[in-house]
Amino acid sequence: MLNTFEKVSREFIDSITGELVPRYHSLKLARLENHIFPYIGEKPINDVTRMMIIECLDRLKAVNKADTALRTLNIISQVYRYAVTREITPHNITADIDKRFVIGKIERKNMATITDPKKVGILLKAIDDYHGEIIVKSALQLATLTAQRPYNIRFAEWDEFDLEKNEWIIPAEKMKMKRPHIVPITKQVKEVIEALRPHTQHKSKYLFHSLHTAIKPISENTMNQALRRLGYAKEEIVSHGFRAMFSTIANENITVHGYHTDVIERCLAHVEGNKVKGAYNHAQYAQERLGLMQWWADYLDNTKQQQRGDK
């Protein structure tokens, strides 16, 4: 069977199925399906030229999608490395594509978030006073207190939480880099969980099940829509922005809480690339991470108290 670019690409995507959570796996395939396959998918991989690839990238740049172009080029390069390894094609033709000239400089947009203490307090008070479903309110509270990815908040399951060990153990298959992650449970997180327990624990395996069915978690947009109902525009704060909020404030206050930036990164599940060093850091930082996350929860409480006038 002819080794078309699409065929080889799909073989590569299939080969890494076990390395990424479904969401990120699907994103890689979607970029190829939307931006590459319609133009060069049917061509034999050995007939594809650099200029053909560059033309696909230029189409994305023409509609102000330079970042998508860069990410797509990275996936194409992975496809070629796979093809060379499997001796499907002799060369990785993307190796000689200079990203500076093809993609150009990308203006990175910071994740929409809030870091001013007074504004943080106003936001948290608004969340606490949220009059919608307790499922949505609790999801927002857990997102602020744990700084975990919205995907992991949405898919959190009751049997992942050990309140005696103060641990939320997110299994590897749910993590972006396919490694298990332990989130320290603070006293404030426990309060959120206990308040939510009678509403969802005996109805669903998910803490935050869908408002329409207990067999699925809340949708990807649920928390963002709640933030909009609270009066916050997408340019001000998004659910993923709670991670940026934690990272920014924690790094700015290292002299206050006393924890190294490596501890902050571990709390965010930014994994050390060296597996041996990563395993060592995981054990080394267990107590430090609990201490940092308790400082964070107390910091958030303090910002709310100031808004209520409880000096």
CATH code that applies to domain 117-307:
1.10.443.10
Q: Which of the listed ranges 19-23, 33-37, 103-107 does the model predict with the highest average pLDDT?
A: 33-37
Mean pLDDT lowest for which of 8-12, 172-176, 226-230?
A: 172-176
Angle subtended at Cα 153 by Cα 306 and Cα 121, rounded to the nearest 5 degrees: 10
Rounded distance between C-alpha atoms, residue 107 and residue 66, angstroms? 9
Binned at pLDDT 50, 70 and 90, residue 20 comes out as low
Contact between residue 264 and residue 292 where contact means Cβ atoms under 8 Å apart? yes
Cα separation, 296 vs 264, in Å, equals 11
Asked whether this chain's domains 5-102 and 117-307 adopt the same fold, the reply is no
Distance CA 275, CA 268 (A): 17
The pLDDT, as a whole number, for residue 33 is: 94
CA atoms within 13 Å, Cβ hemisphere of 136: 22
pLDDT in tens, 61-100: 988 888 899 999 999 999 999 999 999 999 999 998 998 8
Q: What is the pLDDT of residue 172?
A: 86
Q: Where are the domains of the chain?
A: 5-102, 117-307
Does CATH number 1.10.150.130 belong to domain 5-102? Answer: yes
pLDDT score at 274:
47
Which residue do the tokens 């991470």 mark?
A: 289
Query: Once rounded to an integer, what is the mean pLDDT over residues 24-41?
Result: 90
What are 237's strand-pairing partners? none
Q: What is the mean pLDDT of the chain?
A: 89
Q: Provide the whole-model pTM.
A: 0.69
Beta bridge partners of 184: 167
